[in-house]
Amino acid sequence: MRIEQIDEFRWRIPRQGKMQVEGLVFASAEMMKEIGQDHSLQQVSNVAHLPGIIGASMAMPDIHWGYGFPIGGVAAMDGKKGVVSPGGVGYDIN
């Protein structure tokens, strides 16, 4: 997967294939070495495929692998045309 550094704390996963938006990860260079060893960056890119996603598929520096969506993930969906996913919330609701 291609990952580009935007600034000291921002990393972009450019759109490829059927991604609707790009991925945006907040992390330091040191964290990036560890992040993604558990496929969580792939999950950020997967979430970017969802219909109606707005802006970017985002991940916070505490990101790690979760069911479908990474834990530490943020996804904004269009209120009319978007989708809602239980994996985007997880089991421990609220």
Partner 1 sequence: MRSGLSRTDIQPRLRDLVTRLYQNIPTGIGKGRTDLRLNRQELSRVLGRGAAWAVEKGMGVSEDLEYLEENGCLEGARPDLVSDKAYQRGRNQLGTLGSGNHFAEIQYVAEIYDPTAATALGLFSDQVTLTLHSGSRGLGHQVCSDHIRIMVEAAARYGIELPDRQLCCAPIQSPEGRDYLGAMSAAANFAFANRQVMTHWARESFMQALHLGPSQANLEVVYDVCHNIAKFETFEIDGRHRRLCIHRKGATRAYPPFHPETPERYREVGQPVLIPGDMGRYSYVLVGTERAYSETFGSTCHGAGRRLSRKQAKKQTRGRSLLDELEREGVVVMAAGMATVAEEMPEAYKDVAAVVDVVEGAGISRKVAQLKPIGVIKG
Torsion, CA 86, CA 71, CA 39, CA 17, rounded to 10: 60
| Binding of partner 1 by 21 (CB under 8 A) | no
Spatial neighbors of 33 by CB under 8 A, at least 6 apart, are: none
Site string for partner 1, 47-86 (x = CB under 8 A): x-xxxx-xx--x-xxxxx-xxxxxxxxxxxxxxxxxxxxx
| Position 10, amino acid | R
| Binding of partner 1 by 14 (CB under 8 A) | no
Binding stretches for partner 1 (CB under 8 A):
8-10, 18, 26-28, 30-31, 43, 45-47, 49-52, 54-55, 58, 60-64, 66-94
